[in-house]
A and B are shown apart, each in its own frame.
Chain A
Amino acid sequence: MPVYERGYRPWEHSGRRARAPWWTIARRGIAEPLKSRRLLFLLAVAWVPAIVKGGILYFTFQMGELSRLIGGKWTDIGPRGFLTYLGWQSPFVLILLAIVGSGLISRDRRENGLALYLARPLGVRDYVLGKGAVVMFYYFAVTLLPVWALCLFGYLVTSGATGMQMLLLIPLQALAYCLVTGAGFTLVLLALSSVGQRTVFVALWWVLLYAGTDGLAEIMSLFSPGLQILNFPGQFLNAGIVFFGGEPLCEVPPAASLLVVLAYAALGAWVLRRRIKPVEVVA
């Protein structure tokens, strides 16, 4: 059909409000992986520990001390018990974020999409915030949300739990912990994604950082326990003691672990600041 027959009319504004750019980016980034059945399955599997813990809590209440002996740490409904639960979620965090986060920026870089975004009326902050919200969403989906659900369930089924603790204190502790560690994971993963253009390599680097340093630190700590500080996910977990209380999980003081987490976040932010540009300019 010739062009003059197709017609074109200028945009007539409907008067509705536009979404914030970061929210537009985040919505798309969150919705796209959900089309994958494998990812939905992984998300479902990531909730299995929470369901198991919930079941044990229920039976502990029903059967008393006997099941407490069998259930061990799973029956702990104190703050420390929830940090232990978050530690169990570590493999899911590793895999899920590798799948969801690796390509968030690298694919845009490969397809010259960064410039396409930044040719629109939005800034680098909107872009990073939008992409970061995607990672945070999936991180919360397997950490914070199950904790909140368990808190509610624990309050309903157990006799020893108080409303103040289960409905306010622990959810807030979990929120603070997940916000800090989620921001750290997000900034590091986005930084890795901004450095590479091949998603598979970004995922590989993420796995090496996450699982590799875990294994390496275990070996190194045989020589000096303080070298546990090299354990990337271990430091994130140990920093949880600052929020949930209890004994440190390794030889590194929890406050130092929190500083390490913040340092990772700062490093990620610094890399992103250097890498997220519409044009790569050699200074």
Chain B
Amino acid sequence: MEATKTAVKPAAAAIAVRDLTFAYAAAPVLQDVSFGLEKRAVGLLGPNGSGKTTLLRALLGHLPLKRGAVSVMGCDMARDPRGARRRLGWMPERGGILPGMSGVAMVAYLGELGGMPPTDALQRAHEVLNYVGLADERYREADTYSQGMRQRLKLAQALVHDPDWLLLDEPTSGLDPRGRVSMLELMRDLAAHKGFGIILSTHLLADVREVCQEILVLRQGRLLSHGRVEAAPPGATAQFLVEGFGDEPAFQAALRDAGLEAVRRERLLEITAPADAGARLVLAAASASGFALRRLQPRRETLEDLFYQLVDDADDARKD
């Protein structure tokens, strides 16, 4: 994955954000955030507290902005919030289920509130619930839905009024692996084949890689990076975390003999090895040196990795 500068100017974009600044009390949450997005799937990345959800709320016009402007499909949020919101569908992370209603009633109700005539809203509610895979459960009370079904229901209510953009806040949160795959499949289909723009707020890099073509990285309320996600070819090398006991210098020598790099990170060894045969080579080196392995774990790329890479790049650029 790599992040490169995008060429979309805020003024010409489907979603344009200019100098967005917002603070809770004295603490700034968003600072001079500016970007422009074309209608495509965009990942909004950042650690907890980086301002992702606040940015989504600002896009919805929910926050009294200190400074800045948001426009959605040409509608200025300050001047025409209803027009702008008609083009947005929001899936919240927390809550988002109206109690005491069946799935279809809730989606139809929110469709009506989205500006649809009642009959259209009811028909659309059935259609989108079928699309998200809740057709069989649509008459059940939404309160009784499982976490996976709740997430689908929240996606359905975001879709019902056929917006241009979907703002999805941690949509795979709390899902089991099968539910997560299914949700990612839906998001990918919506972005790639159904023409929706998606802003996917998450701290899971893998979700962004699955769905998005572009990323926004926030850190401490500042836009750290805005770039395209380009699917990198399967890496030539992979990293493994190793823990064990025995003659470690001999193990490290065996690793060097096998052409592998090992760096100590506190009580773990981080080994860089060819992706296709890395684990086999590590095991062979351990066997040859008599080093007993307690743990051999492929190191997953995390958001932090991307962050540190971006921060390092920024620091390097500053030094140059």
Contacts and interface: CB of A to CB of B under 8 A. Distances in A.
Contacts of B114: 120-121
Interface stretch (A21-29, A60-68, A131-139, A245-253): A21-29
Interface stretch (B85-93, B197-205, B214-222): B85-93
Given A13-B120, A16-B117, A116 B112 contact: no
B94 A8 contact: no
B138 to A, nearest CB: 13
A19 B116 CA distance: 8
Given A14-B117, A28-B109, A116-B98, A4 B189 contact: yes
Contacts of B82: 121-123
B115 A18 contact: yes
A8 B114 CA distance: 19
B63 interface: yes
How many residues of A sit at the interface, in one of the four size bands? 35 or more
Nearest to B185: A3
A21 B113 contact: yes
Contacts, number: 121
Contacts of B319: none
A113 B106 CA distance: 11
A9 B60 contact: no
A10 to B, nearest CB: 5
A8 B97 CA distance: 23
Interface string A1-44: 11110111111011011110100110010001000000000000
A112 to B, nearest CB: 3
B169 to A, nearest CB: 10
B83 A6 contact: no
A281 B27 CA distance: 12
B133 interface: yes
A112 B189 CA distance: 28
Contact of B57 (A122, A279, A282): A279
A24 B118 CA distance: 9
A107 interface: yes
A43 B117 CA distance: 31
A245 B113 CA distance: 43
Given A3-B189, A111-B98, 10 more contacts: A2-B185, A3-B131, A4-B193, A11-B161, A13-B117, A28-B109, A115-B62, A121-B86, A123-B82, A279-B57
22 contacts: A2-B185, A3-B131, A3-B133, A3-B185, A3-B189, A4-B193, A10-B162, A11-B116, A13-B120, A14-B117, A14-B119, A16-B119, A18-B116, A108-B98, A110-B95, A111-B98, A113-B98, A115-B62, A116-B98, A116-B157, A121-B114, A278-B57
Interface of A: 1-4, 6-11, 13-14, 16-19, 21, 24-25, 28, 32, 107-108, 110-113, 115-123, 277-279, 281-283
